[in-house]
């Protein structure tokens, strides 16, 4: 194959990697094609079968050697702890919550569904402490 075909193939594969949300797989095949294109441009790549072999070896070697560090470098880091936990905050009951009945509480200016986890009932207007959060339900205990 002509050297410029390898260069176009390599640039096309790199462009496909950029435009798709892949996992850095196609990128290395693009780089393999670019390497073979550069070798072919200086007449070092040899016949077509040798070019295809060099493309395969360069692509797989790059994939095996550089993919993991590249993925780790660009992986989004998630914090190990909760950034803004409601556990331990004080809420005000909008409804009386007796036993394990459901009710509503106000916390940080928002109304939440709440369940009483304590033995004592939570009266309307009483302060209560958030013990656990499950979805949009706060598990509260009277103070």
Tokens representing 132? 């656990």
Higher model confidence: residue 73 or residue 9?
A: 9
| Residue 97 CB burial class (10 angstroms; 0-12, 13-18, ≥19) | buried
- Is the Cβ–Cβ distance between 47 and 68 less than 8 Å? no
Residue 100 pLDDT class (50, 70, 90 cuts):
confident
50-64 per-position pLDDT tens digit: 999 999 999 999 999
- pTM of the predicted model as reported, rounded to 2 decimal places: 0.55
CA distance 76 to 20: 17
pLDDT of residue 4: 94
Q: Average pLDDT, stretch 87-91?
A: 92
- In the chain the domains, ranked by start, together with CATH numbers, are 3-74 (no CATH), 90-142 (2.40.50.140)
pLDDT of residue 32: 96
- Answer yes or no: is pLDDT of 122 > 80: yes
The SS3 assignment for 14 reads helix
Average pLDDT, the chain: 90
């Amino acid at each position: 194959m002509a050297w410029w075909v390898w260069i176009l193939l390599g640039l096309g594969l790199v462009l496909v990697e950029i435009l798709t949300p892949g996992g850095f797989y196609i990128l290395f095949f693009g780089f393999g094609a670019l390497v073979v294109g550069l070798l072919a441009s200086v007449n070092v790549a040899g016949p077509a079968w040798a070019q295809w072999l060099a493309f395969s070896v360069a692509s797989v070697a790059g994939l095996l050697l550089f993919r993991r560090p590249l993925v780790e470098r660009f992986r989004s880091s998630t914090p190990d702890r909760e950034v803004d936990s409601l556990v331990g905050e004080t809420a005000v009951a909008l409804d009386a919550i007796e036993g394990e009945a459901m009710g509503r509480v106000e916390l940080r200016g928002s109304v939440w569904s709440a369940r009483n986890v304590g033995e004592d009932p939570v009266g309307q207007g009483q302060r209560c402490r958030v013990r656990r959060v499950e979805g949009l339900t706060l598990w509260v205990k009277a103070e």
